A and B are shown apart, each in its own frame.
Chain A
Amino acid sequence: MKKASSAKALCSIVSAGCAVYGKRDGFSGRELFNEALDELFLNCPKLEKKDVNALYVGQSFEIFEHQANTPTGFSNNYGLPNIPSVRVETISSSGASSLRQGMLGVLSGTFDVVLCGAVEKMTTLETPDVSEVLSMGSDRPFEAWNGCTLPALNALVAREHMRRFGTTEEQLALVAVKNHRNGFENPKAFLRKIVTVKDVLESRKVCTPLKLLDCSPIADGASCLAICKPEMARMYTDSPVEIIGTAQASDCDVVFRDELVGFKTTRIAAKKALEMAGQNIFDMDLVEVHDAFTINEIVAYEDLGMCAKGDGGKLIESGETKIDGSIPVNPSGGLKSKGHPIASSGIGQAYEVFNQLGEGATKIAPSRRVKDAKSAMTHSMGGAGLDVSVHIFRASK
């Protein structure tokens, strides 16, 4: 039996928006962010632009558009003049970090209403250049300089997990199969196609044992949440979603660690966030985890405590993380199917949770809707376990 939380709400989400992810030719990062903001304000007519006190924007790399200081341009171009507009960066978890920074602004009493967004416009460069840019998220003098890429670091983890625990390439492929099925009916997802285990196994090698369909696709994307003090939420919507747990942890580069088959950052952040919420992982009705690579989801199962260390492969096989399983993981389709516009992924996860737990649930296709969902977790990771943020959410309906 899942236990409801009676924890105090930290902040409430009153609206959310997300640009369609994909290769968005003809749209700059700023315009994709506008798309997310248009949805956010359209769905929350009582929220006026003048109510917004600050904007935080996760963005990992400015080199894609040769544009720094993006948040100032975003707010002032959108008609949110003169508000503090700040960029936040922790590579792939930049969006989740943006949410945390916004929450801290509200919790400190400085702001009433904050927009927490994220953006990444990636398809301006060819893939080998994107790989070079992404490898800036690893340690330059010792990792990138010596041939490491982010997929390669995760491949090292995958091979060690397979050796230690007998995890198979088929089990990794099952993560892609599940998440593509979920993403198939997500109108925001980039790769809306069903894939089979055979498709994954036969897709071209990226970094062995990881193949193309084990990796989340390069994509353009933007997303944004409007959060406020919990006591103000009903001024804006009848179905706010409350954030009742938030935690973040960082770690040293992979080469300094002796543990390759798990990420301490996930364990620390999840434990703290769940403690704040007064819940455990099995109280969650759905979990959005960082699945930039299929191995990440397997390892996240273990580090989040959904199964014992080493049993992640068996958990995906059991079907318990499918939509109709006991703990659905990545009903959105995950980064795997939606696409991974680096920073945007962390906010994109919260966008999914806001809709699953709020009145947006009725608009979600039944094939990927979690019935009567009341509690949810998001898990967002930067690099190979370098930074993790975990958030716990509660429906107010």
Chain B
Amino acid sequence: MVEKLTVDAFYREAKAGKLLGLKCDQGHLTVPPRRTCRVCLSANLEVVELSGKGKIITYTDVYSKSRDYPMNAPYTLAFVNLVEGANVLGVVLNSDSSKISYGRDVRVKFQVVQAASADSIRPISPEKERPRIFFELSD
């Protein structure tokens, strides 16, 4: 298990299929990584592996997307509450709006999807090979 959950370490582990979060001494969960607990601001955090299972709280079908996001529009962006208690934002794979609703069970899935072109000034180096957060609908 990684000791310091930097952004880079989070995505490196994600590439291996692991969703890592931070648990504070009070038991609160923080995802994605940051220096202090999102609930009590404790700086005493332990890296934990999470199931990736959660429920959709809210979502939007994005028709007008940012140039550098590689998926075709429209796609469904979801705000998911993990069963362990923190939130994750990502895009629902193979989304069919009619199947998406409040409370829908999903599971985090990481995939590397590179932007089509790099003809812009972006932080290419740290993001190269970095996966992105998606959700699969659970059966």
> Which A residues form the contact surface with B (CB < 8 A)?
63, 127-129, 131-132, 134-135, 140-149, 151-152, 155-160, 163, 204-210, 252, 254-258, 260
Contacts and interface: CB of A to CB of B under 8 A. Distances in A.
A307 to B, nearest CB: 22
B71 to A, nearest CB: 7
Given A205-B63, A256-B34, A160 B89 contact: no
Interface in B40-73: 57-69, 71
Residue among B7, B89, B127 having the largest count of chain A Cβ atoms under 10 Å: B89
Given A134-B66, A147-B77, A152-B62, 14 more contacts: A132-B120, A135-B66, A141-B7, A145-B127, A147-B89, A147-B132, A152-B60, A156-B60, A205-B74, A252-B34, A252-B38, A254-B79, A255-B88, A260-B58
A204 B74 CA distance: 12
A323 B74 CA distance: 38
B66 A131 contact: yes
B64 A151 contact: yes
Given A140-B123, A145-B127, A206 B58 contact: no
Contacts of A145: 127, 130, 132
Interface of B: 7, 11, 30-32, 34, 38, 57-69, 71, 74-75, 77, 79, 87-91, 97, 102, 120-121, 123, 127, 130, 132-133
Given A145-B130, A149-B62, A255-B88, A129 B67 contact: yes
B121 A63 contact: yes
A258 B37 CA distance: 13
Contacts of B62: 147, 149, 151-152, 155, 207
B68 A132 contact: yes
A207 B87 contact: no
Contacts of B59: 156, 159
A144 B115 CA distance: 13
B88 A206 contact: no
Given A205-B61, A208-B60, A142 B89 contact: yes
A379 B13 CA distance: 42
B105 to A, nearest CB: 17
Contacts of B130: 145
A146 B89 contact: yes
Contacts of B77: 146-148, 152, 156, 207
Nearest to A126: B67
A45 B59 CA distance: 53
Contacts of B88: 255
In the complex, which of the residues A129, A140, A144, A147 has the most CB atoms of chain B within 10 Å of its own CB atom? A147
A203 B60 CA distance: 16
Contacts of B91: 146-147
10 nearest A-B pairs in the assembled complex, by CB-CB distance? A155-B60, A128-B67, A256-B38, A160-B58, A132-B67, A132-B66, A208-B61, A147-B91, A131-B66, A207-B60
B63 A207 contact: yes
A359 to B, nearest CB: 42
Contacts of A142: 7, 32, 89, 133
A128 B123 CA distance: 18
A39 B43 CA distance: 51
A149 B87 contact: no
Nearest to A258: B87
The listed residue with most B CB atoms (<10 A of its CB), out of A149, A152, A260, is A152
Nearest to B88: A255
Contacts of A254: 79, 89
Contacts of B79: 156, 160, 254-255, 260
B29 to A, nearest CB: 11
A301 B120 CA distance: 39
A291 B105 CA distance: 33
A127 B73 CA distance: 14
Contacts of A206: 63-64
B65 A128 contact: yes
A213 to B, nearest CB: 13
Contacts of B38: 252, 256
A112 to B, nearest CB: 40
A145 B32 CA distance: 13
Given A145-B130, A147-B132, A255-B89, A131 B65 contact: yes
A380 B7 CA distance: 31
Most buried by A among B68, B74, B79, B133: B79
Contacts of B61: 205, 207-208
Contacts of A141: 7, 11, 32
Contacts of A258: 87
A192 to B, nearest CB: 23
